[in-house]
Every structure is written in C-alpha cells, then in structure tokens.
C-alpha cells in the first residue's frame, strides 16, 4: 500500500470520527432514556463504531511516514482508545456484565465477529523512550545472568581457575568434533556394507520386480485419484487451496514494505526533530526580543486604560488564570472589570444565608432530580481532546495540497507556526514576572494604602491555598540503585522473565449463542474470544498508553477465575509481552519463607512497588489468589503462611494512582475456598474463564496439531474430536497433542495419516472439567457485586427499587418541612 492509501484511510477514519462526535455532542443535549435496553443499544453502536475508527487509525499511525501527521493521528488514536474504554465501562454499568453480545449491531453495521477483536497498537512497544529501553535492557541482562549462574555447569566452572576453565571448554569442543567425525565415518561404513552384499538369484529379481511394479502402479493410481478429489473439492469450494496456506509472494512483499516504511518513518522523525530544534533556536534568537517588547507595550497600555476608566490600576491576573494571556483577549478594560465584579457577585450568592434559601435550594434540587429521571451517559474525559484533534485535522490536513511533498517529509512553515506559540508562552511567563513588579511600583507611587491592602489579601490567599500537606510515602531504599533492587528481586524469584506468548495465541471462537441465550433469560458462559477481548480492554490498552491510563476509568486489580488449564497464566504472560511489561510474582507459594517478619514483608512490598513504578508498565501476578483470603487455612499450608499479604497488599494497592501504570492480576482455580468479601474488595474486576465451547475446541485442535507438525487430512475427523473433548481445557488438549504427535509420528504421516482415534486414548486418561464444577463457578460469580446486580436486573428488582427510594426521599423531605 502506498502513502496515498494510508492517507485516505486516515481521512476515512476522521470522517467517521466527525460523525461520531456530532452524535455524541449534539446542539441540544439528549433527554434521559428510560428504557435500559434502548440505552444499551445506543452504547453498543457507539462502541462498535469507535472500535472501527480505532482499527483504522492504528494502521494509519503505524504506516504513515509524515512526522507531523503522525502527531495528530497519535493524539486522536489515544483519544479514541480512551473513549472506547469509557464506553466499555458504561456498558458494564448498564448491563451488569463484563461480557456483551452484539449480534444485532454487527448485522446492522454489516460487520463480522472478527471486527470486534481489539487491535493492539504497535507503538506500545516500538516507541519506548530511551530511558525505558535502557531500563528494560538492564532487567533483561540481570535475568539472563541469573539464568546462566543458576545452571549446575556454571558452579563447576566458577570453582576452577581461569586456565582450567579454558582447558575444559576446549576439551568439550574437541569431544563434540570427535563425535561428529565418528558419526560421519559410521554412515560411510554402512554405505560400503550395503554395496558389498551378494546379488540375489535371477528368479528372485524377476518376482521382486513384478511385486514392485504392482505396488507402484497402485500407488500412482491412488495418488492420481487423491489429487483429482482434492482439486474437485477446491473447485467446489469445499477445501482451501494448499498454496494459500504457505506465505504468498504478495504477503512477503507486503511485510517487507511495512518494515521498510518503519525505517523511513524513523528517518523522517529524526530529520523533523533536528529541524524543530534549529527552528526553535532561530525563532528565539531572532524574534524573541520583539515578542517580549510587544507584550510589554500592550500590558502597559492596558494598565493606563484601566486607570483612565476606573481611577485605579488593575490587579495583575495570576498564572492560574492565564496571566497576561487574559489581557490579550479581545476585551475592553470595562468588560474585564465587569467580569471580575460578576465573579465576586456569584461567589457571594453561592454562600447560604438562611434557612429559607436552603429550603428553596433543596426544593429546586428536587425539581431537577424529577426532571432528570432516566439513564444518561457519564461525563467523558476524552471527548474534548477528540474535538480538538478533529479540528486540527480539518484546519491543517483535510484540504491541504501535498502534490509537491511526494516523500512526505515535514513542513517547515507548520513547525514555525507551532513553535512560535510555544516561544510566546515561554516569554509570557518571564514578561508576567517583570510586569507584576512594574505594576507594583506604579501602585506604590500612586496609591500606597491600596497596595498595603492588596498585599494583605495576597497573604490571605497564600495562607488559604496551603492547606494540609499530604504525607509522602517513605522511601525505605533511598540509598540503593535501581539495578541493585532488580538484582535482589530477581535472585529472590520475584522479578521474572515473561514467556514469549501473545494474545493471538490464546485461541478461541466467537460466541454465536450468547444473544439467543440471553433472549431466553439464560445467562451464557463467555467464550474464550470474549475473554481475550475483555483482557485487551482492561489490561493491555490502559497499560500501553500513559495518556489513556491517566484519564480512563482506573482499574488497579483484575482477578481471573477458572478451572486449571484454561490459560490464566498464559494470559498473564501474554499481557506482559504485548506491552513490554515487567512481571513480578507475589504468589503466596512464591513468597513463602522470603523476607520474614513484619519488617521484611514491608520491605518486600516497598521494593516491588517502587521497582514496578520505575519500570512501568508492570504487572504484579498473584497465583492461587484464593490462598491469601482462605476461609480456613489447610493444615499442610499453615507453615507457608499464605495469608501474610492479606492486610498489607490492599494498602499498597490504594497507593496506585492514574500516573502509575501498574496492574495487579490474580489467578485462581478455587475461589470458593476464599472469603468472597475480601476477594471482591481487593479485585475490582473479576473475569470468569470457562471451559472452551465446541467452536473454540475445533480451533484449538486444528491449530495446535498443525503447530506441533501434524498434517490435517480427511482421515483426521476434527469435528468428532471436538465433540468428544467436551469438558477438556486447552491445557488438556495441548498435553494430548504433545503425547501423540512425536517426532517419530511426524515422519510416519506420509504413509499413515493422523486419525482422531489416536487422540482418544490419552484423552480418556485425563479427568475433564465436569459440568458441576462449572456450575459451581457460575454460582460463586453470582455472589460477586456485579453478579448480584445482574440477577437483580434480570428479575426486574432494580427497576422496582428506584421509585421506592425516590418516594422515601420525598416523604423525608415532607417530614423535614
């Protein structure tokens, strides 16, 4: 695809974004919606449409090479991601479920289930800052060194002298070469032995030749028949042409072009940064003095105009109000004085003066509440930024003629326009300080008494702003370097290397029955595809972007509950890999015996959270999360003290703020053994991961067999295999495939293709996850806060309680009167 194509993709995404903003920010506010189903439908349509814009902007940002365009695309991309997370949060609040089924929306928008997959932006990893890259490299080096030093061979070598160690390594290399030569000699002797065999009799040769001829003719005919049958199936659309399974030349070319584009991107970005620095210096040197002098002249003129109009010099606006930028607004001195008087009047009116006014206010509030009955959308932290970003596109890029900018390099005039504003802001701060001093001298000369009053008022304001100082968290390791802390945590097995898996490796099909089951008042179990989407929204997208994480609904802790083998641990590692996050393991069994005592526990948590913040994004994993909240600790685990983090970890969790891209992820196979109140208080999001359904099992068998080296033939009935494996987890399926498809079995496939029967015996030796266990998990989830809300909504209790509460409120007001 050419740059023109990606520019058009960006233009289409901006056009759709313009329509979405017009729908979300109409001229007249939408009236509250009484029907919950209709309101959720509106949210679902917005969510799906924003997701498509997100998909297009992500591709455009990844492949557009123009550096100034990418700045605008990135701003809009972050805003769309944030808005998507807000809509997801609102859908959960309105439907009381983490999973949603939107078949009707997909049908109306002519989309497929694949369009609901959450894309993971490339820039989450590609655009780490220089400092972050250095820290990541430091951690990787520590973990690699630790892996080497933990090997038994390393201990033997370390005890030797340098000369002995060199001799040992040379001896190992010579032994390897001897083994290789011996293998080659043995193969040569075997060939010579075969050539020295005696020739058989002529009769034996003739009979053998006839047999070979018969076998060969049969083989050739069967092969021709098989090829004809396969070609017929391909022609009828019953099978896929094998040539499409292998990477096609066009796909290879596209991948090479994408890699080349990213290289050009970096070149253009470097040129853009160098040019920006040069232009900024030039503007500051050439225009800085003139800008400063012009500002001072305008401010002085304002001083005297205000004094002529009011008889006194004005108060200089504070930096919080905008400083001299307020003065430069197109307003007369009298208008500014009127505004100040109006603000003072509003502040005076805001103070309650008596019981009558309180009564009136309460009455007014009651009337407003009665008018606003219904469902309304939550305020957004991203819509204002999206409006600004969309306006930037309309003003600068929508109708811009780029016929002469074939290489898509930066435009100098735009840099000057942008940097001139930045320089003006810098100079304004300096000018404000100088002009405040000058204004104070004028006031001192003209009216000394009012200056004294002004100073007193300033002192009062400063005193009122001070307030109570917040206690800062004490740094227990202020004298230690980050590298030493990482080294210690790695040696203790707390800082770990995440496995090389991605979210796409968590295989699972879309749930096609979810909508139908809910229409029949049956709560469906989510599919593995639903789980993949929800974790991408709750974990990957917020942690991947600092801008999004600071403004989106804050999620500090997620609990994944499900049977053993469904892929909970794999998902933790996949989240780390997708965003380049560091992994900390605070599982009860992993921390047992480490950092003993109260002071040791405090130090461990302090070190983990300090390093996690410095190396953000970071994931803190708590395996067997139920152990921390045991109702009753088993006798065999009492010595391990699994509940030692129960009190202190939630305290550390409270200290996580929006600027800290740190996420706690707990995994549990037995949540029923834990105190549900403590578990739900710790984890704000609880994700239920079920056994795979038929569609997911079919995908698992197919792709995992191929990945292991197995070939899919008509002899292998995947449909039957998927049917009989009901109740088995992905972990079970992986274990069975590794048992059956060995290296020897892979070589035998040409003569003896794989069959479903081969997988049945090892599958039968494993106990599946029975329906009772899954029902127990569903019953447990129904007792969580969100599960309770879902049950109330299904029975209509929430609708009945709302008017009851409002009537109680009215009665209370009447009694108060």
140: its two tokens: 């990787």
**In sequence order, what E strands does 486-622 have?**
495-496, 557-561, 582-585, 618-622
Q: Rounded CA gap, 154 and 375, in Å?
A: 66
Greatest mean pLDDT among 204-218, 307-321, 575-589: 575-589
Note the helical H segments in 580-689. 588-591, 597-614, 648-654, 676-682
Residues 727 and 769 sit within 8 Å (Cβ to Cβ): yes
Instruction: Concatenate the DSSP letters of all residues of 187-229 into one string.
Output: HHHHHHHHHTSPPPPHHHHHHHHHHHHHHHHHHHHHHHHHHHH
Candidates 809, 747, 729, 549; CA nearest to 656 is: 549
CB-based contacts of 590, cutoff 8 Å, min separation 6: 493, 494, 623
What is the Cα 780 distance to its own chain's centre?
Answer: 28
Instruction: Give the pLDDT of residue 47.
Output: 92
- Percentage of residues in the chain with pLDDT exceeding 90? 15
In the 3-class helix/strand/coil scheme, how is 657-674 assigned residue by residue? CCCCCEEEEEEECCHHHE
- Specify the higher pLDDT residue, 810 or 439: 439
Mean pLDDT of 804-817: 41
Instruction: Give the pLDDT of residue 192.
Output: 58
CB-based contacts of 729, cutoff 8 Å, min separation 6: 563, 564, 565, 566, 567, 691, 692, 769
Instruction: Give the pLDDT of residue 168.
Output: 56
Q: Rounded CA gap, 68 and 397, in Å?
A: 10
Q: Rounded CA gap, 102 and 106, in Å?
A: 6
pLDDT at 156 over 60: no
Q: Rounded CA gap, 579 and 616, in Å?
A: 10
Counting every residue written for the chain, the total comes to: 817
Taking phi over 0 as left and psi of -120 to 50 as alpha, with beta for the rest, 525 belongs to beta
pLDDT at 84 over 90: yes
143: its two tokens: 């973990």
Instruction: Give the pLDDT of residue 560.
Output: 93
Greatest mean pLDDT among 136-150, 225-239, 327-341, 736-750: 736-750
582-585 and 495-496 strand pairing:
antiparallel
Greatest mean pLDDT among 140-144, 159-163, 232-236, 552-556: 552-556
pTM for the predicted model, two decimal places: 0.76
232: its two tokens: 């017929």
Q: How far apart are the first and last CA of the chain?
A: 73
- Specify the higher pLDDT residue, 341 or 228: 228
The packing angle between helices 249-310 and 333-350, to 10°, is: 90
Specify the DSSP class assigned to residue 474.
Answer: P
Q: Rounded CA gap, 446 and 27, in Å?
A: 50
Instruction: Give the pLDDT of residue 356.
Output: 46
- Specify the higher pLDDT residue, 640 or 468: 640
Instruction: Give the pLDDT of residue 536.
Output: 93
pLDDT at 250 over 80: no
36: its two tokens: 């919950």
pLDDT at 169 over 70: no
Residues 289 and 428 sit within 8 Å (Cβ to Cβ): no
Taking phi over 0 as left and psi of -120 to 50 as alpha, with beta for the rest, 364 belongs to alpha
pLDDT at 653 over 60: yes
Q: Rounded CA gap, 692 and 704, in Å?
A: 14
Burial of 806 (0-12, 13-18, 19+ CB in 10 A): middle
Q: Give the pLDDT band (50/70/90) at residue 474.
A: confident
The string of pLDDT tens digits covering residues 345-395 is 666 665 554 444 444 445 444 444 455 677 888 888 898 899 989 898 888
Q: Rounded CA gap, 194 and 191, in Å?
A: 5
**Helix or strand or coil: residue 656?**
coil
Q: Rounded CA gap, 644 and 391, in Å?
A: 54
Q: What phi and psi, each to the nearest 5 degrees, are found at residue 61?
A: -65, -35
Mean pLDDT of 294-323: 79
Residues 120 and 536 sit within 8 Å (Cβ to Cβ): yes
Q: Rounded CA gap, 382 and 80, in Å?
A: 8
Q: Give the pLDDT band (50/70/90) at residue 534.
A: very high
Q: What phi and psi, each to the nearest 5 degrees, are found at residue 687?
A: -110, 120
Instruction: Give the pLDDT of residue 802.
Output: 42
Mean pLDDT of 293-321: 80
The packing angle between helices 383-392 and 3-24, to 10°, is: 140
pLDDT at 750 over 50: yes
The string of pLDDT tens digits covering residues 371-382 is 567 788 888 889
Instruction: Give the pLDDT of residue 490.
Output: 86
| Cα–Cα distance list, 322 to 134, 428, 432, 564 (Å) | 38, 10, 10, 58
Greatest mean pLDDT among 241-255, 274-288, 570-584: 570-584
pLDDT at 273 over 80: yes
Q: Rounded CA gap, 815 and 362, in Å?
A: 14
Specify the DSSP class assigned to residue 564.
Answer: T
- Specify the higher pLDDT residue, 284 or 186: 284
Q: Rounded CA gap, 125 and 104, in Å?
A: 35
Q: Of the given ranges (141-145, 160-164, 542-546, 755-759), which has the lowest mean pLDDT?
A: 160-164
pLDDT at 409 over 80: yes
Q: Give the pLDDT band (50/70/90) at residue 513.
A: confident
Greatest mean pLDDT among 140-144, 696-700, 746-750: 696-700
Instruction: Give the pLDDT of residue 453.
Output: 44
pLDDT at 747 over 60: yes
Mean pLDDT of 445-462: 49
pLDDT at 191 over 90: no
- Specify the higher pLDDT residue, 500 or 160: 500
541: its two tokens: 């997208």
Q: Give the pLDDT band (50/70/90) at residue 451.
A: very low
- Residue listed under structure tokens 């959960």: 92
Q: Give the pLDDT band (50/70/90) at residue 57.
A: very high
Instruction: Give the pLDDT of residue 809.
Output: 44
Residues 536 and 464 sit within 8 Å (Cβ to Cβ): no
The string of pLDDT tens digits covering residues 20-56 is 999 888 888 778 878 888 888 889 999 999 999 999 9
Q: Rounded CA gap, 241 and 160, in Å?
A: 60
Instruction: Give the pLDDT of residue 126.
Output: 80
The string of pLDDT tens digits covering residues 544-601 is 899 999 999 999 999 999 988 899 999 999 999 898 888 999 998 888 888 888 888 8
Q: Give the pLDDT band (50/70/90) at residue 339.
A: low
pLDDT at 440 over 80: yes
- C-beta neighbour count of 73 within 10 angstroms: 24
767: its two tokens: 């106990």
Q: Give the pLDDT band (50/70/90) at residue 813.
A: very low
Q: What is the mean pLDDT of the chain?
A: 79
Residues 441 and 302 sit within 8 Å (Cβ to Cβ): no
User: Dmax of the chain from CA atoms?
Assistant: 134
CB-based contacts of 102, cutoff 8 Å, min separation 6: 44, 47, 48, 116, 515
Helix (H) or strand (E) holding 639: none
* Cis amide prior to 617 (ω within 30 degrees): yes
Instruction: Give the pLDDT of residue 801.
Output: 44
- Percentage of residues in the chain with pLDDT exceeding 70? 78
**Helix or strand or coil: residue 374?**
coil
Between vectors from CA 153 to CA 149 and to CA 155, what angle results, nearest 5°? 55
Candidates 121, 43, 124; CA nearest to 84 is: 43
pLDDT at 157 over 60: no
Q: Rounded CA gap, 58 and 56, in Å?
A: 5
Note the helical H segments in 615-661. 648-654
pLDDT at 289 over 50: yes
- Specify the higher pLDDT residue, 103 or 208: 103
Q: Rounded CA gap, 116 and 532, in Å?
A: 11
**In sequence order, what E strands does 630-765 have?**
662-668, 685-688
Candidates 171, 149, 147; CA nearest to 158 is: 149
Instruction: Give the pLDDT of residue 397.
Output: 86
Q: Give the pLDDT band (50/70/90) at residue 164.
A: low
Instruction: Give the pLDDT of residue 329.
Output: 61
Candidates 110, 86, 142, 96; CA nearest to 493 is: 142
Q: Rounded CA gap, 436 and 440, in Å?
A: 6
């Amino acid at each position: 695809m050419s740059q023109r194509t990606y520019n058009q993709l960006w233009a289409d995404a901006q056009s759709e974004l313009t329509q979405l903003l017009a729908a979300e920010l109409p001229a007249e506010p939408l009236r509250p919606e009484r029907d919950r189903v209709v309101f959720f439908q509106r949210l679902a349509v917005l969510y799906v449409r924003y997701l498509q814009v997100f998909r297009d902007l992500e591709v455009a940002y990844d492949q557009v090479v123009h550096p100034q365009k990418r700045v605008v695309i990135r701003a809009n991309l972050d805003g769309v991601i944030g808005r998507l997370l807000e809509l997801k949060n609102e859908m959960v609040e309105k439907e009381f479920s983490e999973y949603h089924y939107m078949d009707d929306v997909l049908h109306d928008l002519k989309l497929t289930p694949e369009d609901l997959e959450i894309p993971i932006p490339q820039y989450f990893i590609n655009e780490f800052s220089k400092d972050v890259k250095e820290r990541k490299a430091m951690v990787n080096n520590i973990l690699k060194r630790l892996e080497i030093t933990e090997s038994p061979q390393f201990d033997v070598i370390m005890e030797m002298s340098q000369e002995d160690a060199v001799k040992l390594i040379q001896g190992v290399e010579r032994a390897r070469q001897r083994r290789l030569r011996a293998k080659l000699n043995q193969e040569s002797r075997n060939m010579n032995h075969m050539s020295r065999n005696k020739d058989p009799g002529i009769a034996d040769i003739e009979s053998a030749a006839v047999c070979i001829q018969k076998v060969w003719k049969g083989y050739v005919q069967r092969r021709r028949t098989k090829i004809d049958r396969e070609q017929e199936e391909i022609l009828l659309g019953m099978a896929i042409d094998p040539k499409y399974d292998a990477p096609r030349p066009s796909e290879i070319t596209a991948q090479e072009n994408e890699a080349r584009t990213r290289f050009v991107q970096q070149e253009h970005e470097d040129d853009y940064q160098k040019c920006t620095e040069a232009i900024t210096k030039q503007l500051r040197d050439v225009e800085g003095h003139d800008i400063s002098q012009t500002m001072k002249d305008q401010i002085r003129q304002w001083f005297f105009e205000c004094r002529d109009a009011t008889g006194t010099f004005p108060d200089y606006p504070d930096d919080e109000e905008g400083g001299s930028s307020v003065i430069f607004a197109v307003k007369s001195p009298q208008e500014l004085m009127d505004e100040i008087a109006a603000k003072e009047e509003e502040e005076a009116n805001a103070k309650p003066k008596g019981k009558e006014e309180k009564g009136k206010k309460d009455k007014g509030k009651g009337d407003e509440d009665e008018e606003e009955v219904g469902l309304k959308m939550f305020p957004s932290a991203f819509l204002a930024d999206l409006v600004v970003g969309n306006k930037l596109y309309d003003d600068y890029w929508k109708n811009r003629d780029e016929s002469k900018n074939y290489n898509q390099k930066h435009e100098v005039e735009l840099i000057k326009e942008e940097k001139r504003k930045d320089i003006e802001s810098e100079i304004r701060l300096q000018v404000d300080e100088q002009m405040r001093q000058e204004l104070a001298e004028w006031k001192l000369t003209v009216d000394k008494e009012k200056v004294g009053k002004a100073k007193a008022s300033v002192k009062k304001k400063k005193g009122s702003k001070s307030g109570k100082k917040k206690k800062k968290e004490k740094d227990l390791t202020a004298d230690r370097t980050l590298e030493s802390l990482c080294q210690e945590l790695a040696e203790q097995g707390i800082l770990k290397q995440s496995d090389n898996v991605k979210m796409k490796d968590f295989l699972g099909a879309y749930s096609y029955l979810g909508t139908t089951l809910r229409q029949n008042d049956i709560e469906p179990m989510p599919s593995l595809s639903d789980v993949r989407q929800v974790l991408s929204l709750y974990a990957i997208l917020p942690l991947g972007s600092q801008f999004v994480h600071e403004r989106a609904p804050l999620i500090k802790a997620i609990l994944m509950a499900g049977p053993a083998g469904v892929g909970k641990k794999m998902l933790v590692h996949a989240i780390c890999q997708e965003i380049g996050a560091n992994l900390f393991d605070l599982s009860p069994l992993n921390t047992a015996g480490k950092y003993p005592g109260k002071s040791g526990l405090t130090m461990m948590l302090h070190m983990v959270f300090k390093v996690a913040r410095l190396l953000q994004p970071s994931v803190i994993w708590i395996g067997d999360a139920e152990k921390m909240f045991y109702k009753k600790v088993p006798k065999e685990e009492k010595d391990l003290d699994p509940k030692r983090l129960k009190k202190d970890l939630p305290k550390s969790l409270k200290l996580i703020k929006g600027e800290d891209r740190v996420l706690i992820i707990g995994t549990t196979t037995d949540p029923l053994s834990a105190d549900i109140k403590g578990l739900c208080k710790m984890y704000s999001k609880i994700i239920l991961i079920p056994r795979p359904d038929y569609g997911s099992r079919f995908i698992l068998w197919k792709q995992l067999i191929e990945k292991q080296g197995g070939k899919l033939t008509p002899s292998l009935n995947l449909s039957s295999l998927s049917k009989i494996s009901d109740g088995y987890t992905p972990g079970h399926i992986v274990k069975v495939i590794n048992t059956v498809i060995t290296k020897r079995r892979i070589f035998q496939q040409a003569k003896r293709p794989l069959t479903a029967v081969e997988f049945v015996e090892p599958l039968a030796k494993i106990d599946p996850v029975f329906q009772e266990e899954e029902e127990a998990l569903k019953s447990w989830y129904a007792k969580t806060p969100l599960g309770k809300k879902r049950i109330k909504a299904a029975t209509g209790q929430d609708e009945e309680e709302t008017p009851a509460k409002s009537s109680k409120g009215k009665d209370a007001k009447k009694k108060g009167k």
